[in-house]
Amino acid sequence: NDQAADPPKLFVMEVGRDPAKGPAFRLPPTQIPVPADAAADFPVSLVIDKKDEIAFLMTKMGYLYMFDIVSGKTMYRAKITQDVVFCTTTQDATGAMFGITVRKGQVFRIQLNGQALVPYIVSTLRDNDLAIKVAGRLNLPGAENLYAAEFERLITARDVANAAKLVASSGTALRTPATIARFQQIPAEPGSP
């Protein structure tokens, strides 16, 4: 069976974009990390939280997956119900996903916990790059030490342009007098303003 040999993948692509505005956003397919006890499982629902750019995927066996649709990376996976999920929808104002189970008719609500997301990505997923990008894009706490370390790495490498971009995307984490002082300590390059 070819399907068993081929793991399921998440495809992220923009459709319906006006070609005059440039190419459509598209990521290479990303493997979905299916647990060993759910090898026969399959998706039954996919809803997008447009507010936080997150995809919630529900499977027949009750697994919830959360994907960052900007990178395609899996941010979370857990079995949240023993029952099959009948239908799902999003609440645009909050980014929450609501679902109803088949047998018991239970209604559930899933929503991003912004305060816990970045620490979870750092400690559980061990993906500092994703943590920095998500924290910057969603203005979430928890990446302050990562921002500081990446800033120092960029400054040490004399990559001032990317260090400045990092500061701009860090929310308030790096917008401090210490950061300004660090920029002022950089020796002037010959021929630069």
pTM: predicted TM-score of the whole model, two decimal places: 0.79
Question: What pLDDT was estimated at residue 5?
Answer: 61
What are the residues whose beta carbons fall under 8 Å from the beta carbon of 189, sequence distance 6 or more? none
Q: What are the per-10-residue average pLDDT scores of the chain (193 residues)?
A: 68 88 90 90 91 92 94 94 90 91 91 92 92 89 86 88 88 84 80 62
CA atoms within 13 A on the CB side of 181: 3
**43, 58, 68, 34: which is closest to 110 by C-alpha?**
58
pLDDT at 169: 83
Rounded to whole angstroms, how far apart are CA atoms 179 and 193? 19
The pLDDT assigned to 98 comes to 94
Q: What string of H, E and C letters represents the secondary structure of 47-68? A: EEECCCCEEEEEECCCEEEEEE
**pLDDT computed for residue 1 by the predictor:** 42
